[in-house]
């Protein structure tokens, strides 16, 4: 049979390729933020509690502007953890992923023919040859994490809600700016080499997109390096290697059947072991979470002593990806079914409770890269609070990678700067912002209590602005 693409003009083939890649890149970025925002509904709950809190198992984020929904957003089951947020907000998971993306975009520049690895082939003859944009360094990410911890997410000036024990301790340690990997390693050793939370995996997916046209081993290498900025445990590093490899392969269209998923994980594992850093890994433990026999029930996601375990999050994403591949393979109307898959699978995942926002953030990145932006549910994506801003960053990334129209110069985009082109916020000013948020949260809780027949006492809740994911060595 003749390959239909051979009958198309080269320009048409290129246009179709670029459109597909744009859809997958945007799908991954928006999909991860959606998973994060939807996962917040059930974060830290058990599956039983989630079922009681949301008996319909249905969620909507509503919409805004031209995409206004007919129904308002699903309200949170109000407690001190969710009260500081609004439906459609993402959490620290997406903030940290965006720190990685912005670090890349800040130093990126187009405008000439791209050197190998810089993006999709193209460029006019005689134009200046630009090298591929540099990868974010450990020090660059460390500096941005320092800003986030002390001042919040500066591009949108949102508060640093959700700071976990591991990240908070490591980032605050002396020497973190200059040598974050050393500080992370010392913390890991000091805590008995047993801490393997999901805080670096939740931020890794942009690297799979950034490395779209780079060699797979380079993607593995940068993922490992940026994991070790805070998370040194080999399980955390391997999870970031595998997660980055999967996002990259999905966006490139290299994952078609389940065997392709296994192949990416195996290559990541082999690469990691080849570096000499994976000697302590329990390989059976890895495949128990990500192998073809795994499933959401087996992951036991609301296991309270280990909800933040990195393999639970990695497994959540891989299991949902396998489910999507299987359903589309068995579908008689794959085009229609694609538009329902993301919502169905993410909802199933977050109703299992546990570290639901992080699990769904990573799973959303994989599913979004696999299904594309246009398969994401409208009543979710158009209710995402900062979707327009995030779409702008997706457009910028597509331009840098050479699959979007127009040129890009990170120096002209002040919001990619570590401080987003704004003055630093003083400690006193941050204290004032915390006080305002606390008062607003208190009023929200008080108003909710007035409508309840069982008004909570003042000591029944506290402002969990700094949360810890799990216990027993799994807090991120």
Other C-beta atoms within 10 Å of 56: how many? 6
Are the C-beta atoms of 205 and 36 separated by less than 8 Å? no
Q: Please check if 358 is assigned to a binding site.
A: yes
d(CA 385, CA 372): 20
Q: Which residues pair with 114 in a beta bridge?
A: 130
Other beta carbons within 10 angstroms of residue 174's beta carbon come to 7
Distances from the Cα of 318 to the Cαs of 250, 288, 364, 395, 403, in angstroms?
12, 12, 11, 27, 27
177 labeled part of a ligand binding site:
no
DSSP collapsed to 3 states, the chain: CCCHHHHCCHHHHHHHHHHHHHHHHHHHHHHHHHHHHHHCCCCCCCHHHHHHHCCCCCCCCCCCHHHCCCCCCCCCCCCCCCCCCCCCCCCHHHHHHHHHHHHHHHHCECCCEECCCCCCCCCCCCCCEECCCCCCCHHHHHHHHHHHHHHCECCCCECCCCCCHHHHHHHCCCCCCCCHHHHHHHHHHHCCCCCCECCCHHHCHHHHHHCCCCCHHHHHHHHHHHHCCCCCCHHHHHHHHHHHHHHHHHHCCCCCCHHHHHHHHHHHHHHHHHCCCCCCCCHHHHHHHHCCCCCHHHHCCCCHHHCCEHHHHHHHHHHHHHHHHHHHHHCCCHHHHHHHHHHHHHHHHHCCCCCHHHHHHHHHHHHHHHHCHHHCCHHHHCCCCCHHHHHHHHHHHHHHHCCCCCCCEHHHCHHHCCCCCCCCCCHHHHHHHHHHHHHHHHHHHHHHHHCCCCCCCCCCCCCCCCCCCCCCCCCC
The annotation status of 416 as a binding-site residue, yes or no, is: no
Pairing of strands 129-130, 113-114: parallel
User: For 175, left (φ over 0), alpha (ψ -120 to 50), or beta?
Assistant: left
Is 357 marked as a binding-site residue?
yes
Detail the residues annotated as belonging to a binding site for Mg(2+): 91-93, 355, 357-358
Detail the residues annotated as belonging to a binding site: 91-93, 355, 357-358
């Amino acid at each position: 049979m003749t390959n239909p693409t051979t009958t198309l003009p080269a320009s048409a083939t290129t246009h179709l390729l670029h459109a597909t890649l744009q859809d997958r890149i945007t799908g991954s970025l928006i999909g991860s933020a959606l998973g994060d925002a939807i996962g917040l509904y059930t974060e830290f709950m058990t599956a039983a509690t989630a079922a009681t809190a949301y008996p319909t198992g249905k969620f909507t984020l509503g919409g805004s502007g031209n995409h206004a929904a007919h129904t308002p957003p699903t309200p949170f089951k109000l407690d001190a953890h969710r009260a500081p947020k609004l439906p459609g907000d993402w959490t620290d998971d997406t903030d940290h992923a965006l720190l990685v993306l912005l670090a890349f975009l800040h130093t990126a520049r187009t405008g000439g023919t791209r050197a190998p690895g810089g993006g999709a082939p193209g460029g006019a003859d005689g134009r200046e040859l630009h090298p591929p944009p540099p990868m974010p360094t450990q020090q660059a990410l460390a500096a941005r994490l320092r800003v986030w911890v002390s001042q919040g997410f500066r591009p949108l000036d949102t508060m640093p809600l959700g700071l976990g024990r591991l990240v908070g301790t490591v980032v605050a340690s002396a020497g973190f700016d200059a040598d974050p990997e050393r500080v992370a390693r010392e913390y890991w050793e000091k805590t008995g080499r047993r801490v393997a939370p999901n805080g670096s995996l939740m931020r890794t997916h942009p690297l799979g997109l950034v490395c779209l046209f780079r060699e797979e081993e380079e993607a593995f290498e940068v993922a490992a390096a940026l994991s070790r900025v805070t998370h040194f445990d080999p399980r955390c590093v391997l999870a970031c290697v595998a997660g980055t490899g999967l996002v990259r392969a999905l966006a490139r269209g290299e994952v078609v059947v389940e065997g392709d998923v296994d192949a990416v994980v195996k290559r990541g594992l082999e690469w990691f072991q080849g570096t000499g850093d994976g000697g302590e890994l329990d390989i059976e433990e890895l495949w128990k979470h990500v192998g073809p026999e795994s499933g959401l029930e087996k992951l036991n996601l609301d296991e309270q002593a280990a909800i933040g375990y990195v393999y639970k999050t990695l497994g959540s994403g891989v299991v949902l990806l396998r489910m999507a591949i299987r359903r589309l393979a068995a579908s008689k109307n794959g085009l229609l079914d694609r538009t329902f898959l993301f919502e169905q699978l993410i909802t199933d995942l977050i109703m299992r409770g546990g570290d639901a926002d992080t699990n769904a953030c990573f799973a959303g990145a994989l599913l979004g890269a696999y299904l594309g932006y246009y398969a994401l549910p409208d009543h979710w994506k158009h209710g995402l609070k900062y979707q327009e801003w995030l779409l702008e960053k997706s457009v910028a990334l597509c331009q840098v990678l050479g699959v979007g129209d127009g040129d890009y110069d990170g120096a002209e985009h002040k919001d990619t700067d570590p401080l987003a082109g704004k003055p630093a916020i003083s400690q006193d000013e941050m204290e004032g912002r915390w006080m305002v948020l606390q008062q607003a949260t208190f009023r929200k809780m008080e108003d909710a209590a007035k409508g309840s027949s069982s008004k909570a006492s003042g000591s029944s809740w506290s402002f969990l602005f700094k949360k810890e994911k799990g216990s027993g060595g799994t807090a991120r």
